[in-house]
Structure formats: C-alpha cells, structure tokens
Copies of this chain bind each other. A is one copy, B any other.
Amino acid sequence: MDGGRFAVKRTVGEKVVVEADIFTDGHEVLAGRLLYRKEGEGDWTEAALEPLVNDRWQGEFPVAELGRYLYTLEAWIDAFETWRRFLGKKIEAGQGVSVELEIGAELIRAAGRRAEGAEAQRLAEWADSLAGAKSQTRAAALALDPELALLMARHPDRRLATTYGRDLAVVVEPERARFSAWYEMFPRSCAVEPGRPGTFKDCQARLPYVARMGFDVLYLPPIHPIGLTGRKGPNNSPAAAPDDPGSPWAIGSAEGGHKAIHPQLGDLEDFRRLRERARELGLEIALDLAFQCSPDHPWVREHPDWFRRRPDGTVQYAENPPKKYEDIYPLDFDTQDRAGLWAELRSVVLFWIEQGVRIFRVDNPHTKPFAFWEWLIEGLKKEHPELIFLAEAFTRPKVMYRLAKAGFSQSYTYFAWRNAKWELTRYFKELTQTDVREFFRPNLWPNTPDILTEYLQTGGRPAFMARLVLAATLGSSYGIYGPAFELGEGRAREFGGEEYLDSEKYQIRNWDLDRPDSLKDFIARINRIRRENPALQSNRNLCFHEVDNERLICYSKRTKDGSNVILVVVNLDPHHSHTGWLNLKLEELGLTGETNFQVHDLLGEARFIWSGPRNYVELNPGLVPAHVFAVRKRLRTERDFDYYL
C-alpha cells in the first residue's frame, strides 16, 4: 500500500492477517506483538505474533466495528527464551550449568519486578528455588518448566523493543461493500403505460420485481433536473425535440441542481418513500454522484469561477475531438475558490445522506483530483462509516487502482471486455491473488447504459446467461443494467460501437417485463445461490482449474473453514456445445485424490458422482451454458446403512 500511505480494506467481522519479516543480527530468540486499535480510541490492544518460517511472522486481529483501525508491530530480543534454549542444549550435552542457572535466576527476578501481585510473587519464588536447587537435575526441571516459560512470556523486558515505526490503517466497511448485487434502472422508464415518463411512484411499484430477482442495491442514474441548453436527442443526436427528455447526466436547470429532484419524477417525499419501501424489500438505493453541470445549472450563474473559461468568455464544455458534449460543463477543481467548490460538493453528498442514502455510484471519478476523493470520502466516513462508494473508474489500470486507494469501496472493472479464458484467468488472478485484493473491490458489470459489448451484441440469450454467471460467481459484487439485461437487449446503435440503439440515456423506454424469454427467473436463482453459499460472498478464495478446452472455464470458491465449496464451469462460446475434461486441484476443493465426491448443480439440480481430479463436462449453451456446483465431500457407503451392522 505504497509503504503504508493508504489503508487496506475489510468488512465488519473479518480478520486482518498481518505478516512481517522480523529478524536481528546474532542468534538470539525474538518475540513480538501485533498492536491494534480503533482510530481515535485509547490504548493499543495486543495480539500474538508467531513465527512461520524463514524469519516470517504472522498475527491477526478482528475488526468488529465500522470505521478505521490502526495497527503496528513491536518485537524484541527474548532474553529468557534465548537462555532457556541455550540451557537446554548445554544440559543435553552434559555440560555444567551452574553459572547459567544464576543468570536465569536473575532474569526471573527481573521479570518478577516487572510483574504485580500473585505473578510477581510466583516469579520471585521461582528464582529463589532455582538459585537454591540442590541438584542440577532439579534445577533443570525448574528452569525448563513450561509454566515458567508462559509466566515469563507475560512479563518480557521490552525496554529495547523495536517498533515498526508506522501505524498502518484498515478501513472497515459494511458487509455490502464486499458482497452485493446491483441493479441499475432508469426511473423515467418505469411507467407501465408506454410514452408516459415514469415517476418515483412507478419506480416504487417496480421494486418487488427487482427484489424478487434477489438484488440488494438499486442504483438510479441522476434524478436531478436536466438542462435544456445543448440537450441531446434520441441516439445522441445533437438537436433535441421539445419532448426529448435529455441525458440525466446533464445535471441542473432553472429547477435546481444536485440537491433537487427532477419535477417529473416527484418530490423529496416521494423519494424518501421509495427509499423506505426499497429498504423493506432488502434493497438499498444507490444514487449517482456526477459532479458536472448542464449549462443551465444554478452554479453556472452563482459561481462562474467554478468553471474554466476560454479567451472568448465562453465556458469550456466537455469535448474529446471530434466528440462534443455541449450539454456538459466540467467543474474546475483547481478554481481559485477551491474551498468553496469542494465544500459545496461535500454538502451535496451530505444532503442525500440526510435523505437516507448510504450508497453512491460516482461518475467518472478519474477526471477529478485524487486528493478531492481522499478528502471527501475519508471526511464523510468519519461521521458515516457505513457509506459505500462505487467508482465508475473506466480508465487506465494504475489510475483505477489509485482511486481505490483514495477510498472508493468498490470499482467498476474491465470485466465487460474480458471474454476469453486466458484473459479472464489472468485478470482475476491479478484482482484476487495479488496485493490488489487488499484495497480494490471489483464490481462486475456485464453491461451498463454505456456498454453493450460485442459479445452481448452477437451472442444472444446464451451470451447473457454466461456473462451473468461469470459476473455473479467470479465476483462477490456484481451488477446489471436492466431491464435491458434480463430482456437480452443486444441491438447497438452502430456496428463496431458499444452504444445501445435507442439508449435510455436519451429517451424513455418501455420494457415488456413479462416476455417469456426474460432471464428474471434465472437471475433470481443465481442470486439465491449467492446468498445461500458463503463461498460466493468473497473473492480471496478464487481458484482456477484446468480444462482441456479453451472455450470452457472452470473455477472454484471455498470458505476458509471449508464448509462451503462452489465449483463453476462456464461455456464461453454462446454458439456451440462444448465438452471437456476438467483437471481439478482437489486440495483446493478440500478433497483428496482417493475420495469420490458429489457435485450438485445448483442451476439445474442435477447431481453427479465424480472421482479424482479428471472429470467430464458437457455444456450446451442453448440450454444452460454453465454449471454452478456445490461440492459435497461426504458420500455415503455401505457402513452408513442399517443392514451393514
């Protein structure tokens, strides 16, 4: 973590395992402690540090509460244990130890002076017995007694202890920061009647549909008034007709800015009711933080200095030639009135926190300063450690990771564009088996309103199913943009692009949720499997297994205690059936080579008896392109039945 500059991340109830190289010159025995505390609270709590091998030590501590914890290390030369081992070797070699016993008695007396009460007395007595022992055998027994070793370990001489010299931080977040299923939906498309703009009330009526699919975060694109100046029409056409609703990301009009609600959606009261009803159904509402303005945003008038001006006096709109976004003014985070701008943006988040929002999806965080996000998130979390921020950081890898270090709880990833086995394997090893996992929590989206991948455009329903299984089982957090996803919407505006045809970003869509080919039941099943199988609620345990077919990918997840093991096989080819032989890493499944075991397909309910590492699979994408197996170790044998007795 850049030498301790940034915090690692955990969720409530997890453990933090700390490893360190601890050594010194010479041959003395060392001892050490892991020190930890909640930030802002008093004394360090101590946890054991135990040597592993090759001067590597390990300790762990629990993080039971939301917020920031600090930890550091302390180690010292353990004079008593050094003496004890030395004595043991001399006795074993049959050498005289009378002087050693004197040295030991003095070490014990000194420990007694550091101790108090009964333990002080016990140590003093022990020292006297040792000094007065009549025979070397008796003295050795006294000196090497494990009870003494334990007692001495409780009162070490730490005056010359070395500390790590830096307090490292852990940010502890709610469980949903680690394990979550997101559903993105445009409220204005929620009306049942075609043509009418949906409202929060329509949105509320849609909640049971979303909840039945098993999601736990409902993410709404910006709900604020939309600017008129430069408004885009359907399919991003530069001229909007009077009825065109415009992009929700062109925030702000005469009706208000980032703290206002689009009048067509309803009012604050409607929003609060929506949020409350959602929570009753297990859904947390996530709002979009898009820190940019339409030219009609009140800030443009009230704070002209928050925007970058061109020599001709106009405000610089967003553009990436040849593309122009005349409906968007970026904020100038380096404005002279930096303090004013930053405080106002913070007050936007606080406003929605007051309305009960706890999860925010942040639009394009990579075009705003890292320092702003660190300041904003760390500051808000002091009062509200339950907040979750998802970074829409579709940018270069190092910038993406830097934003995670700045404090974002979760991040979008490159998942949408990783389709082949080799690239999925390489990417997810990077995310789950390197230091990245300490600070970066992937949230996997097969689609978003901006991203309709070629794979989904060309693969049909099997492609949507395969990508759903991958997203929901490779990652403990994932999300879909619906109803486009469950209805298999695969039509792009133009070949070679990733924009949806008739994108909801620019127009209202009316979706037929009851279409028989909807994936809603399949999604509901996947989400139920995720909830019922703790192995799928973490990413640290991901393990890939070999398959002798490049179109089949196989991986497993397992809880630390081994009580839950999930094995997934996905056919990545949406067009053809594929067969293959798995070569399973049995130890990663908690199995040994000799055992037969059962795999129970939680998608199709089929059960197979497998044996050893090599097992056969066959997946027809026209039916279900994946197996999600629960691995059940114990098979019954003749000895389990009455007739055997």
Contact = CB atoms under 8 A, between A and B. Distances in A.
B322 A396 contact: no
A92 B323 CA distance: 12
Interface string A62-89: 0000000000000000000000001001
Interface string A93-113: 101000100110010000000
A86 B311 contact: no
Given A99-B312, A321-B89, A321-B90, A27 B396 contact: no
Contact of A311 (B25, B103, B399): B103
A388 to B, nearest CB: 21
A114 to B, nearest CB: 20
Contacts of A23: 396, 398-399, 402
A3 interface: yes
A21 interface: yes
A396 B106 contact: no
Nearest to A103: B311
A54 interface: yes
A103 B26 contact: no
A311 B99 CA distance: 7
Interface string A302-313: 000000001110
Copy total for this chain: 2
B27 A367 contact: yes
A86 B321 CA distance: 7
A311 B396 contact: no
Residue with the greatest number of chain B CB neighbours at <10 A, chosen from A3, A25, A310, A366:
A25
Given A54-B398, A92-B322, A102-B310, 13 more contacts: A25-B369, A26-B367, A26-B368, A27-B367, A55-B397, A55-B398, A55-B399, A89-B321, A95-B321, A95-B322, A102-B311, A103-B311, A106-B311
A389 to B, nearest CB: 16
What 3 A-B pairs are tightest by C-beta distance, nearest first? Answer: A93-B322, A89-B321, A102-B311
A398 B21 CA distance: 8
Contacts of A3: 3
16 contacts: A3-B3, A21-B398, A23-B396, A25-B367, A25-B370, A26-B368, A27-B320, A54-B398, A55-B396, A89-B321, A92-B322, A93-B321, A95-B322, A99-B312, A103-B310, A106-B311
A106 B366 CA distance: 28
A368 B24 CA distance: 9
Contacts of A321: 86, 89-90, 92-93, 95
Contact of A26 (B25, B92, B366, B398): B366
Nearest to A21: B398
A322 B89 contact: yes
A21 to B, nearest CB: 5
Nearest to A334: B160
A130 to B, nearest CB: 13
